[in-house]
Amino acid sequence: MVPAIKESNRDRLFLFLNYLFVTVALIVVAYPVLYIISASVSDPVEVSSGRMWLYPRSLTFDGYSLVFENAKIWRGYANTILYTFVGTLLNLFVTLPAAYALSRRDLAGRKFVMGMFLVTMFFSGGLVPTYLVVKDLHLINTMGALILPVAASVYNIIVARTFFSSTIPGELTEAAYMDGCNNFRLFLGIILPLSKPIIAVMALFYGVAHWNSYFPALIYLNDEVKYPLQMVLRQILVLQEMTAETTGAAISGDIAQAMNSKAEIASLVKYAVIIVSTLPVIAVYPFLQRYFVQGVMIGSVKG
């Protein structure tokens, strides 16, 4: 039997500080989530007055009813799913071949190409030149404006390249060549089946980025029918702020009451939409968590 190790006072203090830090971090992270969930099923008057600060008050599911009855929200949901699916497929189609090619030591000019990629991480043309390029390509108000400019991320290419360099042995490539395998067949038939972890990591990285993206839609889209869900949520937030400012001005009578009612409805819908919009990511993340952690560790290793 192994004798128990006696803890010193410094060890107890260290453990106490660790538990204290973890508890504070948990509260900081969990409170906003709990607040949004409670606010989505509480009376908006209780929320705006500050009486609801943790648990639901005056329980109501009217916000979710309004969300499920709103055609604009469902259309934004469908657009976001489409943009995320197509955009992620394009990202994988560009990132994985580029990363594998850069991981090959026999690629001529590999260091020069990698250097050019790294430059783009620190310097870019800016918003106006990017907008002009998108406009000249006739992509304004199209799905291409949201997915083509972000078809690849240099950081993700570096992460994937590090995975290929550290995981795929050179002997495997040589054996494939000896069996008459060409580069194209090698990549599709051998490399990709062995790279399921990095494919899952890249799909998660790109998918979450597309799902949460709203700024490109704000810049390039002018048709509300094509708005993603995040833009619909932004419209609800802006409507609530504008209504609150207007009701704070010199308006009285039935107009002020109607505006206040509109603000309460917008507040109720806002929290419900936040919950509904994050559910897919929350549902998918537990299944990809181990790949996510592995991807972070891969990116932290120099390759």
The pLDDT-based confidence of 260 (bands split at 50, 70, 90) is low
The pLDDT-based confidence of 140 (bands split at 50, 70, 90) is very high
Q: Residue 5: what pLDDT?
A: 63
pTM of the model: 0.78
Better-predicted residue by pLDDT, 39 or 293: 39
* 223 Cβ contact partners less than 8 Å away, ≥ 6 residues apart: 141
Mean pLDDT, to the nearest integer, of 100-128? 86
Mean pLDDT, to the nearest integer, of 179-200? 85
37-76 tens-digit pLDDT: 888 888 887 887 778 888 888 888 887 887 778 788 889 8
Question: What residue type is assigned to position 260 of the chain?
Answer: N
For the chain, domains (ranges, CATH) are: 63-299 (1.10.3720.10)
Q: Which of 66-70, 140-144, 285-289 has the lowest mean pLDDT?
A: 285-289
79-94 tens-digit pLDDT: 999 999 999 999 999 9
